[in-house]
Structures are given as C-alpha cells and as structure tokens.
Structure 1
Amino acid sequence: MHVTALWICFQVEWKSVTRLCHSKPLLTVNGEFPGPNIAVHEGDNVEVKVTNRVARNTTIHWHGIRQLRTGWADGPAYITQCPIRGGQSYTYKFTVKEQRGTLWWHSHLAWQRASVYGAFIINPRMPYPFSASIQAEVPIIFGEWWIADVEAVENEMTLYGGGPNSSDAYTINGLPGPLYPCSNKDTFIQTVERSKTYMLRIINAALNDELFFSVANHTLTVVEIDAVYTKPFTTTAIMIAPGQTTNVLLTANQVPDSSSMFVMAARPYLTSVFPFDNSTTVGFLKYKDTSPKKSNPPLKPYTSPPYNLPLMEDTVFATQFSNKLRSLASAQYPCNVPKKIDKRVITTIGLNLQDCPVNQTCKGYAGKRFYASMNNQSFVRPSMSLLESHYRNLTTNKLSYNFPEKPPNAFDYTGVDPLTKNMNTEFGTKLLVVPYGTELEIVLQGTSFLNVENHPIHVHGHNFFIVGRGFGNFDVAKDPAHYNLVDPPERNTVAVQVGGWAAIRINADNPGVWFIHCHLEEHTSWGLATGLIVKSGSDPSQCLLPPPEDLPSC
C-alpha cells in the first residue's frame, strides 16, 4: 500500500478578485479562487496546517473523507471543533482509508464556502475498473458569484427571515463565461485532442442550487459518484446537487466547424420558491488543431445553443438520472449495504413559517419568517464543540440526546397547504445517539409547506447506501419491500427528490459526533440539520482518538 505523510499549508486571507465588471475582496486560501486542488494517494496520512490571517473565524471541512476515529479533523464549526480564530493555526490530521476518487474541501462556517473551496482527489492504488485509456483528468468545480458581499446577504436573511438574494452568476472553475457582463476573458476553456478520452471530475460547490451539466454534441459516461465507482452508463447530461461529485468520461469524437467550439454549460435545476439565479455558466471544449493551415476557431458566445441541457424544472430527467446510479458491486469493490437494520428513523425535512415576533420586520412569505427543520426540530448550533462536549462528558441544559425518531404528527407531508398548516418548529440542539456498529436506516421525508423541493442531505463521517426513493409519503408497510439491497448507490450526499423521500442505510462504525444537514446553505442557516452521536465500541480500535494539542478553543 502507498502510505506517505503529505504536509500541506493553507493560508486563509483576503484577495481582490474581479468578475462581472466588479472587483471586491474575497476570502481565499493561498490567494487562489477557487482554492488549491489537493491530490493524495489512497492510504496517505495527510496533515494540513491552516493559518487564519483574517479577523474572523474560519474552519475547513474535508467533504466526504470518512475521518475514521479522527472526528477532530472533520471541520464543521461548533460540531467537531471550535473555529480557528484570526491569527491562529490548526493542523488537520487524518488518514485516507479505503477511499479513492473525487471529493472536495471547503470552509464550514457561515457562508464562507462561497469562495473557500477546492478539489480533493484521491488517486487509487489499483487501476480504474473500466477499460478506457484516459488522456487527462480535469477537475470541473461549479460555484456561485455574488456582486454583493456574501456575509451581508447572509446577515440580511438572518435578520429579516426572508429568502436570501440569489447569486449573480454561476462559475466553472471560478470563471462565469461569456454569457455574463465583462466575462469573455473569464471563460474556462479545456483543450482536447480528437479521439482521446478525458475524465471530468465534476464537483458542485454552489451554495444553494442543484445544477444540470452537459457538453454540446458529446455524451458523458458516468463512472463514479462521491468517490465510489458505479456501473457505467451514458447520458447527455447530469444532475448534481451541492456537495456531490460525479466523475464522467468524455471522448472527443467530434469535428469542430470553422466558427465555434463545443459548449460545456451548467444551469440550475429549479426546486425553490425563493429568488434564484436562472442564468447559465458556459465554458468550452477546444479541439487541438493539428493542421498548420487552419487557425484556431474564435471564441463566440452562444445565446441559444443546443446545450443538451434539460429544462430547469425537468424533474423527470433528474429522477431518471438518479435511478440509473448503481454501485459497481464487484468482487473487488463490493456493495456492503446493510441487509437488516437495528433502527429506523423517519424524519421530515423541509421549510416552514413562523409568525413574525412583535416589533420586528419579517420578509418571509406572508410577512413571516422562514425556518427549516427535521421532525419539527430547528437545529441551533451550540457555543462550544459538540464533539468535545461528548468526549469530555460535559453536561449542559442546552443539549439533549432525544432527537425524535419519527414525525410528531402524521399527515400528508407533500400535499399540505402552508396557509392552514404549520410545523410549529422547536428550536434547540437535540442529537440522535446510537451504539457503535448500529445498522441504521434514516428515511428522509420531504415536505411541501412552502414548495416541494430537492434537499441535498449530507452525512458527515460515513458513507451510506440509497436503498429506496419515491414520490409522496413514505409507507413503512409497503415501501421497504421494494428496496434495492443488491447494488444501491453509495454516497455521502443524497438529493432527496422533489415531493418525495429517500431511504438511506448507514453502518454506524465511526465513533464521534457527526453533522447531518442540508447542503443548501440557506436551509442549514435556517436549521435543517441535526447531529449523530456514534458511541465508542468495546475495543480500543472502535474508540475516538484523543483530541490534538492544538485543537482550537471557543
């Protein structure tokens, strides 16, 4: 096994960046936007020293890294660590065990991941389980760009309880593309050679939007999701939710004409009632010109091209795409889905309204405030690290360990009238606690108090298997009989489909405290989150490691 110690230095700092005719200071890592890509090998020991050079707190989360027994390195603020204060440093130490593929890293405090993010690529020990000869591997990271200060957008949303202003552009590797003002030069261009095959490592780092992506006149072969190999299949486009990664193979099998290159484009999959950015970010595949008599085709913006993109409200395509995803389930890469479970938790997820407090101005629907919840519980982050409280057995009346394991009331979750029904959200920090090794099923039931929505739910510290999906209300008496327990997709982030539910199964074999939350940042800010405590087992190898000496304090 390839095992090395990889030492990386991160400097969180300000840098002036110009996009869409506007220049503004941007929070960055090592002065880069997006941040630096990290490439490691399966089995590597990784150490990343993060030095905070700005006058505000920060953290870094290694999205999708399982952090076996090293929850102190996971990164979500006040969940597994107190933030890194201005002028201070913290070294994240972890080992990449039995994982390979495309993941990513990002800040996990407030909305800082709007600009603090990058790819985390794990090179495998063994050859890829597909036969294609790959010419190059290309990270493709989607993001969002705000002309306004993102912190001010978040603060206004929190103050008035309304939907936040949308971003002003989507980006591909930090570049908006020529459909936006002043952005002809801010366009991502990937040069390819005819007949060669390329692996696109696609990451959705956008704050609040699921995205469709396609490459004009080309098909994509999906081979991996969330750093897990899949049964390959071809598609004209993909749907990718915030937090998810998807590796696709693209063969450059076209002949470019004399006036254009081939467009790669991303635009939102619309599942929100709030202001949203309905624009499209564009990059280009530029075929390498092997003829000395021809000049390179000029870069020409497209206003109505054949992008291969689904319509923004194409739930049929999104559903069909998700249904095609299957674990490879081979002898070398088995699908270790739990066939039986020890516990089933059914939780509603979604948005709801609360009456506006007296003498306050509220800008949510009908003059109320937006909140979000899981089983009527709107998560409140504590003032100190939950993991440290758990490890040191600290007690506080602000924490409780009785997260409800089913909705408090049964009703038509996806057909409710928001003007006559209300979740009556409770605010607090209730955690779900399970013994080490619990075979856990969580049914994520969507709701429609404001609109049927697609919620990308991310589970820290564990991968899981999506064993079932459906529209409408989950039926515990009927739906489990139709689960896929042979080759369900294995992920760390599930896009719970519009107006429906998803059932995931987890082998809770990683001791610690793990955040479970919606990866639409606005929803997490409103409380669509909870914490999962996995108790230590009886063997020392089943116990959380002690905290590092440089762990930040609150």
Structure 2
Amino acid sequence: MPSCIKILLFFFISSARFTNSEAWGRHHVFFVKEASYTRLCETKTILTVNERFPGPTLYVHEGDTIYVKVHNNGRYNITIHWHGVKQPRNPWSDGPEYITQCSIQPGDSFNYKIIFSSEIGTLWWHAHSDWSRATVHGAIIVYPKHGITYPFPEPYQEVPIIFGEWWKEDIMEVLEEFVASGGAPRDSDAYTINGQPGDLYPCSKQDTFKLNVKYGKRYLLRMVNAAMNEIFFFAIANHSLTIVGADGGYTKPVTKEYAVIAPGQTLDCLLEATQAAGGSYYMAARAYSTAFGIPFDNTTTTAILEYDNGSNLPTTIPFPSLPFYNDSSAAFDFLISLKSPGPLLFPLNKYDMQIYSTVSVNAFPCQNNSCAGPNDTRLAASMNNISFVSQFIDILEAYYYNINGVFGTRFPSVPPLFFNFTSTNLPSILLTPKRATEVRVIEYNSIIEVVFQGTNLVAGIDHPMHLHGFDFYILGWGFGNFDKNNDPLKYNLVDPPHRNTVIVPINGWVAIRFKAHNPGVWFMHCHLERHLTWGMETVFIVKNGKEAQERILPPPQHMPRC
C-alpha cells in the first residue's frame, strides 16, 4: 500500500506532460476526507481527495486498466464516477449512486477497476453522490499508446484547467436547503479556475492561478468543466485557442477566440505563446445562461497568463472579450465548429431504434403551501414527463440478480403528449410529471438515435445531457420543435462531433446516435446538478450479446452494501 501512495503523490507534482518512457502506476489510493480551505476571505471545511482541491490528476495510456481504492474517511456517503471512461462490460465500477452501486459509507472502502479502451485526451473523475462533486473531482489524462505521437504539434507543456463553483456554505447545507425549499438552489458565490476564484473576488488576488509561459512555446490546455450548474464561455486576452480534442477524443483542429464548455465536458486546446513583448494577460470564464428570469451567478473567474520576460512591463493586464451571457448564437457557433476527424466508428445512415425524449423543468403541487417554486409549487425535472425516482438498491444489482420491484422497463420512446413544446404560453396542466423509476432495455449492438427536445415548461434552458458507457455522434441540432420529416435531411453524417456530453439548446433539440455494443446498466442524465436532483435522468440497460466477450463481467468482490 505505501508504494501506491507514493505513486499517487508523484502525480501531484507537475502539470507538465509525462513522457512515454516514464513508469506508470496501475494501483492508486484515494482518501476522501475533510480539509480546510480559505476562499473569499473565509475558511471552511470541504470534502477532498488526498487533501487536494481539485483532486489528484490520473495519468494513463490508451487501453490501460488501473485500480483506484477509495477510502471514505468523510462524514457522508460517497461514490466516484470516471466520466467519459466507457468501462467496457464493467458497469460495476462506473460509480453513479443507486444506479450501478450503493454508496461507500463512512469508514468503508471500495476498489474500482477502471478499464480504458478507445478514450484518448482529457477526461475527469468526480463524486456521483449527493452534491459532493462540488469539491470531489479531478482530471484524467489519457496519453496515446506507447510509441504513438499526437496528430497535432507536440506541446512544450500540458496544463490542466479545471473550472468549478464555490459556495461559502457547506455544500451539503446548500443541498439540504435547496431540497427542503422546493425552489431553486442558492447561487454560488464564485467560480474557480484550478480551485482559485481569481482577483476579481475579494481576498483572492494573492492566490490567483498563474500560468507561466515562454515566448514561442506551445501549450496544451486540458480543460474540464467541473462546475455544478453553469456552462462557461472562456477566453484568453490577445491569444486564440486551437481545439484539438473534446470529451476524450480528437477533433479536427479549429482555431477560435473563445471556448464553450458545459458541466461534464472537456476540451483539449493548443495555446501559442506569441506575444513577443511578454507581459501578463487575463484568462477568464463566466456563465453562459439562457433561462429568462432565472437568477445565476453572474461573476467572472480569472487566472493570469504570464510570460517569463514580462515582470518589468506595465501592470495593466488586458482582459479578454467574452460573448454576452445569453448569446446562444456564439455558443452554438463554437459547438458546431467541432468536427470528428474520422473514420466513423459505425454507419450513420440508419438506426434500429429512435427515442424521442422531452427534457423539461416541471413542478409538483406543494403539500404544505410553503414551497419556493413558482406559484407555491415544488420544482422538478423530467425526461418524457417522467421524473426519475432513485431507489435504495442499485439498478445494476437488481438487474443482474433478477430482483423484482426495483425498476420498471417502460421508459417511453416518445412523449406521452405532443404539443408545441417551445411555446411561450403553455397550460399549467402540462407542468406536473409522473414520478417513477423507468428504464429502457436495448438490444446488444443496435444503433440508437436519441432526439432530445427541450421544452419551455416552467423555464426554457440549455441542458448538457451526459450518457455513461458510450460516446455518441451529434448529428444535428436546432431551435424550436424537432421536425421528423425535414430536420434529419440536414444531419451531418460525414464528420459529426463525437462526444459523451451534449448541450440541448434552449427551446430547441439535438439528435445523437450511438452503437449499443457495451452491455450493462448505463445512466443518462442532465449534468446540471439541480436538474439531476429534480429527476432529469433515465437508465439504458444494454442486454448481453451472444458471445462470451459480449456479456457483462461478473461483479467484483465486496461491492458496497446498501
């Protein structure tokens, strides 16, 4: 065990790239425990991994299998999800609470087996229980196989850039208050870059994250959006970004003045240090938030890009130009510019099953007439008008061991009622969803198309939808209602983006396709944490194939107890 800890501590030392000649550890240890951090003039205790915030970065190569033993030394139950890692045939270590496992209780531990396959680039890990991921998260860097080089120019250095959210209160208090009220959660007090709010916030100047660069060198920024509830615009003053990867896969290189990144998403961006005069330049991120009349944290987090030869230059630091907070055109101009480099992993000219699902914010009647939702209601969220209810035994074990009564298999292929989903005036009778634990069973190796349709119930907003166990192609998107006759004619079937998290535009739709060649129980949900808490989720159960290598692996010993 001590040797494992030494290896993990070695990971903490540097953000520079580890070369292919260096040794790699297969066994790692995560100690989940509380630690004190000072932000925004105040000190508070947060849940951390190995007393780090953000947590340690994991470094692997394409196709590796590693083990991470998680010791829960905190006060709360915990699980860890390896976001974007497809875990072929191994849903047992995927991590979402009450979906593929029960929580690791305080004082207990669990050994995760993490199987990497085709992933390459930047991914991340995070808690997948309650709201613990606010502080329990970190990057995963997947390098090419030994002897394989990048398909883009070699960077001089690689730097994780992790966006987050910070509340002055304990995050569990924020969650408990939010759930009890029936309304929206309180806004965060700051956003962060690599754990630091930046010098636009009080008491934060001294600890603002700085990236020191050398003129003429190339840097690979490995971005992760670990924020709980906000999509971000990000830019660097007087510098452009060349995106070369997204969500653990390469993209065709494209150069942009700003980036858009949703909770759950990752980006790999090349930065050329081209300012011959040196100096310092702000890196900044702020929310992209489209919901009309819904409050959000409208602050801006900053870091500083500083040239080695810039210490004697004027102290005025240029600030980047960021799109306006609700500029959907700017957001989707960026998102649709990302293209898959190919070749396609399966034919996109047909599918075996289509699931057309609304994604909605809803409301339940308030039982005590004191709820903080609109018109004294309790806010909720749904897919196809079903607000998902978590059980207290996980769905994977219930499926594997044929335990009845835990879930139903009637998640619908279409909404129960068709109407003008994006109308500005929708009758209140449509607001109330059904509470249920419904999943969808899928045949092995079938090609699935999912069309997400945003609605204007309660409030229209963008939804970053994440699918566990798979990457998918994003074939098309648009504003308004999906037109099944005309919109598919405009699909990109040549080089569509290949991702694991997709943004459904406000009052619009997006269409994805994936091949169900990974048997198991796989979660699909909105990665805005408030919407996940409200029930915007479902589960896909992919059946076993006929061959031995097409079947779920047997469960590990000592799964956490419920």
Evaluate the alpha carbon distance shift between residue 256 and residue 360 of structure 1 in structure 2; reply closer, same or farther with a 3 A threshold. Answer: farther
Partner of 2:8: none
Separation in 1, partners of 2:524, 2:533: 13
Deviations 1:43-88 (A, max 9, x none): 2110000000023210100000001011000000000000001111
Q: Secondary structure at the match of 1:399?
A: coil
- Residue identity in the other structure for 1:348: T
Unaligned runs of 5+ in 2: 1-19
Asked if 1:135 is matched to 2:156, the reply is: yes
Contact 2:79/2:95 (8 A) holds in 1 = yes
**Maintained 8 Å contact 2:346/2:515:** no
Report what 1:517 is aligned to.
525
Q: Mark the CA change 1:58 to 1:36 in structure 2 (over 3 Å): closer, same or farther.
A: same
Matched, 1:429 2:448: no
Please state whether the residue corresponding to 2:294 is helix, strand or coil.
coil
C-alpha deviation, 1:35, in angstroms? 0.4
Question: Match of 1:400, SS?
Answer: coil
**Structure-2 residue corresponding to 1:480:** 488
Structure 1 counterpart of 2:101, from 81, 94, 101: 81
**Normalised TM-score (structure 2):** 0.93
8 Å contact kept, 2:525–2:537: yes
Structure 1 residues without counterparts, runs of 5 or longer: none
Structure 1 stretch displaced more, 146-155 or 10-19: 146-155
Matched-pair identity in %: 47
Q: What is the root-mean-square deviation of aligned Cα atoms in Å?
A: 1.7
| Deviations 1:532-554, CA, capped at 9 Å, x for gaps | 00011111101001111021110
User: Is residue 2:112 matched to residue 1:92?
Assistant: yes
Query: Separation in 1 of the partners of 2:216 and 2:449?
Result: 45
* Structure 2 CA distance for partners of 1:361 and 1:109, relative to 1, 3 Å: same
Partner of 1:413: 421
Aligned partners of 1:278, 1:256: CA distance in 2, in Å? 33
2:364 to 337, 354, 365: 354
Tell me how far apart the structure 2 counterparts of residues 40 and 18 of structure 1 sit (CA, whole Å). Answer: 32
- Cα deviation for residue 195 of structure 1 reads 1.1
1:178 aligns with 2:191: no
**TM-score, normalization by structure 1:** 0.95
Q: Which residue of 2 aligns with 1:404?
A: 412
Give the distance between the partners of 2:507 and 2:111, measured in 1 at CA: 42
Q: Aligned partner of 2:271: which letter?
A: L
Deviation at 1:473, TM superposition (A): 0.4
Change (3 A) 1:449 1:256: farther
SS at match of 1:316: helix
Corresponding residue for 1:546?
554
Contact 2:388 2:435 in 1 (8 A): yes
Q: 1 CA distance for matches of 2:151 and 2:448?
A: 29
Post-superposition shift, 1:5? 6.1
Q: Is the 8 A contact 2:445 2:517 kept in 1?
A: yes
Structure 2 equivalent of residue 310 of structure 1: 323
Q: Does 1:48 align with 2:73?
A: no
**Alpha-carbon distance in structure 1 between the residues aligned to 2:528 and 2:280:** 33
Matched to 1:270, the amino acid is S
Q: Is the 8 A contact 1:335 1:487 kept in 2?
A: no
| Paired residues for 1:21-40 under 5 Å | 21-40=41-60
Is 2:333 aligned against 1:324?
A: no
Name the CA shift for 1:111/1:297 in 2 (closer, same or farther; >3 Å). farther
State the one-letter code of the partner of 2:515: N
**Quick one: distance in 2 between partners of 1:232 and 1:337?**
23
Which residue of 133, 152, 155 corresponds with 2:176?
A: 155
Residues 445 and 295 of structure 1: CA distance in aligned 2, closer, same or farther (over 3 Å): closer
Contact 2:431-2:458 at 8 Å conserved across structures:
no
Match of 2:300 in 1: 280
Deviations 1:199-256 (A, max 9, x none): 1001100000000000000011111110111111111001100000011111010144
Distance 1:405 1:534 in 2: 16
Distance 1:56 1:96 in 2: 29
Quote the Cα distance in structure 2 between the aligned partners of 1:476 and 1:418: 22
1:103-132 deviation per Cα after TM superposition (whole angstroms, max 9, x unaligned): 0000000110000000001011221112x2
Structure 1 pair 56–286 and aligned structure 2 pair: CA distance change class (3 A): same
1:416 positional shift: 4.3
